[in-house]
Amino acid sequence: MTQRARIDANGPKPSGPVIDAGAELDPVHPRKPPRSLLAPATGLTTAEVAERVARGKVNDVPIRSSRSTADIVRGNVFTRFNAIIGVLWVIMFFVAPIQDSLFGFVIIANTGIGIVQELRAKRTLDGLAVIGEAKPTVRRDGSSAEISTSEIVLGDLVELGPGDKVVVDGEVAEAESLEIDESLLTGEADPVVKQPGDPVMSGSFVVAGGGAFTATKVGREAYAAQLAEEASRFTLVHSELRSGISTILKYVTWMMIPTAIGLVVSQLVVKDDNFKDSVARTVGGIVPMIPEGLVLLTSVAFAIGVIRLGRKQCLVQELPAIEGLARVDVVCLDKTGTLTEGGMDVTELRPLGGADEAYVRRVLGALGKSDPRPNASLQAIIDAYPDGVDADGVDAGGVDADGVGWRCTQALPFSSARKYSGAEFSEGNGDRSAWLLGAPDVLLPADDPTLHEIEHLNEQGLRVLLLVRAAGELDSPTVAQGAKATALVVLEQRLRPDAADTLRYFDDQDVHAKVISGDNAVSVSAVAGKLGLPGAANTVDARRLPTDQAEMAEALDANAVFGRVTPQQKRDMVGALQSRGHTVAMTGDGVNDVLALKDADIGVSMGSGSEATRAVAQIVLLNNSFATLPSVVAEGRRVIGNITRVATLFLTKTVYSVLLAVLVVCSQVEYPFLPRHLTLLSTLTIGVPAFFLALAPNKERAKPHFVRRVMRYAIPAGVIAAAATFATYLLARSHYSGPDALEAETSAATLTLFLVSMWVLAIIARPYTWWRVCLVAAMGLGFLIVLIVPWLQDFFALKLVGTTMPWAAVAIAATGAALLEMAWRWVDRRFPA
């Protein structure tokens, strides 16, 4: 049997305080009992707090929403490839003109851009984290106030209510039916009833009741702090993009080592009479093998995504969550707080069985005052039946006309698992009564005729609560049996004005929305229908769902609306959907959503949600707007879709650079390019266009297998580019002779490689828009300017000699472009995404 705080009519017992439903109200917290009754302890004094701060007994664990500035600089500067390029850059300063060292300046610019963008993103994240930070309530000098988590000191009295997260370790000082969920720490899903003297651990959260605890461990001594990072308790978002790029870079490194060694040896042998030129051409062969801009653009794309979402009051607590939401194909929505606004309005009160309406109002007023932390439904009742005398001269707050008040002798807070709350009263005339307020289909037997009346109300999208007079003790798990139905309280939920458009967006993007709610299934279906949710008529009462995961997954795929779902069922439903290969996002704001948010691939919490939901969610909508979600999805799709595009460009360059080096080694000829040539080509065909393409809009849903999708295009494109370029180079070697032959040969080979690379860019830029066409044309124009401006010809050592070889180079490039088109289309058919 669940233990709950008992309050004797004549005074409090040690396990809990007295709550007088007729007592004078606290002026700071209207419609709630005075704090002196709820919380006898006064907490620390200002002097005691100052003394503990001086001793360093403060909860000083830093809240890190992002990497530190030092980590950002270190992460962008000290990379494996920067080290390689840095060494090569220093070498080039001693053996070649400055134009052959341009690649080093490009790396410095890239690194600077990465640092600046990530610092901008850090400022955005840190600012939003302060807004979204949990503000626990502590009691000091006898009064309560919200403070920052980092300001809690040892011995502070921290108040708790439903949904509050335990932010430091402590010992329960006060308990009013206090139930704490420790599943995020222990894995046990059942709430633990806490009594004064029981320990509480940071990282747990309140599911029912309230109370206060004394902080016994703060800072790095607290349990949560010992887990190193807050997110280590939860499932981190998997980033296929991040892991895929790491895999690619690992293989590129292993390819580079033997190829670079072979190239060094071959060039020293071929150019035995010109050591400096040999070194320059060796560096020219090694540098383009490194896809140095790929990591930069990935970081920049994520950073700019964070900044864009931050402007919309969206806090991304884990950066890969942007990518994860782009892959989502099922989004599970909690109705209350997501599709509807938090507040409700009482539209009708229907007494049942001849009950006196004035008496019912009195009961509802007393129930409202019995709960110091009312949920949205009870708050609507409190607003409708406030304390004071109504038009009939009867006190609706639970005080008889003669002024004798009702006294709450036992309270049962609302629980998502029970679906009802209750209280027991000693009435002014000496009578005792126990009342329950909650879901009609839970409090009444299935064959009760009252349920038919309620069904009609639910079909209109109204929320209906049933007030019953209990026959047994509130402690009893069978308290609802034999209860007498007394009145129906009809509530109207406020639909979010932007919810319909958001659901329509998900439908257009082929993302299936599932409404999962603890409310009546028919009522939830009506709300979903008003918002135009596809399949809203397919409604399931979760109490009839199969427990087998495979059968549950089948029911979830076939239906769109689920009512009377318990918190554990929400978690099971997420798991069932994932077992079918779905990528699941879960939205919610209540404590009953925490377990499901934790297990979902992406958890999305409202900023006004409980501290527990904000703690486990990867994305927090600080403006509480469901309409922000499409922006998050669109940003994720932009990032991952565009990085997939530009990664193909970078890796095509890596493939053709490695193959060219291998062909040079095998043929024992001079490497055709100096670093300046490949710097020019990389800038015009990869660097500049990739930057714009990586930040362009992209609404295509992210697809799996990032590495396979990139390499299936990059390998054939790189092979064709290398073969065409080397063929032109060999043909030019046989065509030209004399002291300037090498420059003419290099120029012809450069022309072929540029044209083939431009065709790769033209394919990547599809589908064409005006700005993409202009981008490709601008890159072509830039190369043409280099070829026709004399001083640029000298600077880049590019000069086309005669007409035969240049046109031959163009013809070979055209053949390569045709082969690219055929290869691209064959890959699409042979290896579909």
| Residues carrying an active site annotation | 334
Backbone phi and psi for residue 355, each to the nearest 5 degrees, phi listed first: -65, 145
Angle between helices 292-310 and 629-667 (to 10 degrees): 170
The phi and psi torsions of 181 (rounded to 5 degrees) equal -95, 120
Task: Find, among 335, 350, 340, 298, the residue nearest to 319 by Cα.
Answer: 298
Characterize the bridge pairing of strands 584-588 and 512-516.
unpaired
Transcribe 328-389 into DSSP letters.
Answer: --EEEE-TBTTTEEEEEEEEEEEE-TT--HHHHHHHHHHHHHH-SS--HHHHHHHHHS-SSB
* Type of residue at 805: M
- 226: exposed, middle or buried (C-beta count within 10 Å: 0-12, 13-18, 19+)? exposed
Which amino acid, one-letter code, is at 795? F
- DSSP codes joined into one string, 414-444: --TTT-EEEEEEE-TTS-EEEEEEE-HHHHS
Ramachandran angles phi, psi of 36, nearest 5°: -65, -30
Q: Alpha-carbon distance 108 to 101, whole Å?
A: 12
Phi and psi angles of residue 146, each rounded to the nearest 5 degrees, phi first: -85, 135
**For residue 311, which of 119, 120, 499 has the smallest C-alpha distance?**
120
Tokens encoding 293: 């801009």
Phi, psi of 105 (to 5 degrees): -65, -35
Beta strand residue intervals within 161-204, DSSP E: 169-181, 192-193, 199-200
| Residue 616 near residue 597 (C-beta atoms within 8 A) | yes
The tokens for 94 are 């001693």
Residues 6+ apart with CB under 8 A from 752: 724, 725, 727, 728, 809, 810, 812, 813, 816
Give the 3-state secondary structure percentages of the chain, helix then strand then coil, rounded to 5.
50, 15, 30
* Sheet strands side by side (includes 561-563): 314-316, 619-621, 602-606, 584-588, 330-333, 512-516, 561-563, 539-541
- Residue 54, number of CB atoms within 10 A of its CB: 9
Residue 776: alpha-carbon gap to chain centroid: 35
Q: CA torsion 767→770→771→773, rounded to 10°?
A: 70
Q: How does 495-527 read in b/e, with b if 16+ C-beta sit within 10 Å?
A: ebeebbebbbbbeebebbbbbbbbbbbbbbbbb
**CA–CA dist 28, 641 (Å, integer):** 52
Q: What distance in Å separates the CA atoms of residue 607 and residue 140, rounded to the nearest whole number?
A: 27
Give the SS3 label for residue 562. Answer: strand
Whole-angstrom distance, CA of residue 121 vs CA of residue 256: 33
Residue 469 CA to residue 486 CA, distance in Å, equals 7
